[in-house]
Amino acid sequence: MSASMMMMWVSFAGMFALFLAIGLILLSRYKLKGIVAGIVATFAYAFLIIGGLIIAFVVLRGPTA
C-alpha cells in the first residue's frame, strides 16, 4: 500500500474519532445522568484529543508524492 493511501486511511480514522467524540459528548450531556455521564464524557474527550492529534499529524506531515 502506498504512503498516500495509508495517510488517507489514517485521516479517516481521525475523522471517525472526532465524529464519535461529538456523539458521545452530546449523549453524555443530554441523555445520561450521574457517574455514567462522567465516564462517557471522559471517553468522548479522549477520542477528541486522539482524533485531533491524528488530524494534526496528517496535516503537518504535508503532501505525499
Residue 51 has pLDDT above 90, yes or no: yes
Structural domain count of the chain: 1
Q: Which range of residues forms the domain containing residue 46?
A: 3-61
Tens of pLDDT, residues 9-43: 999 999 999 999 999 999 999 999 999 999 999 99
pLDDT score, position 63: 86
pTM over 0.85: yes
CB 31 within 8 A of CB 58: no
Dist CA 7 CA 55 (whole Å): 10
Give the residue ranges of DSSP H helices in 1-65.
3-30, 34-61
- The Cβ of residue 44 has, within 10 Å, a number of other Cβ atoms equal to 20
